[in-house]
Amino acid sequence: MDIKEIIHEKQGTVIDVRNESELSEGKIPGAINIPLSDIPYRLAEIKEMKAPLVLYCRSGNRSAMAVSMLRSAGINKEMYNGGGYYDMLKYIN
């Protein structure tokens, strides 16, 4: 399964790890905003989310960090770094 398929078929959960101030750029429909700094405090919530997880941010760096944090916390779900917001737009069009 690839990211485009996950998004179009609503097969998983899309998580936006950008800060609230960055959301004015736009948001992927259906994405849940959990800023990177909040990830450690919302692990229980993330564990309950439908997999696979697709995480994105502004450039792909923070979403890569978020994937790493989740794996280190023992979340063994299928996860993808969707890259930056503009990368994700390519998947929904």
Q: How confident is the model at residue 93 (pLDDT cuts 50, 70, 90)?
A: confident
pLDDT digits (tens, 9 = 90+) for 7-34: 999 899 999 999 999 999 999 999 999 9
- What's the rounded Cα separation, in Å, for the pair 83 and 41? 22
CA distances for 44 relative to 47, 48, 64, 70, angstroms: 5, 7, 20, 11
What's the mean pLDDT in 29-53?
A: 97
Statement: the pTM of the whole predicted model exceeds 0.85: yes
pLDDT tier at 90, thresholds 50, 70, 90: very high
3-92 to CATH, choices 3.40.250.10, 3.40.190.10, 2.40.50.140, 1.10.357.10: 3.40.250.10
Inter-CA distances, 91 with 21, 41, 69, 74, 84, Å: 23, 29, 24, 28, 11
32: which 2 tokens?
């849940």
Average pLDDT score over residue span 56-84? 97
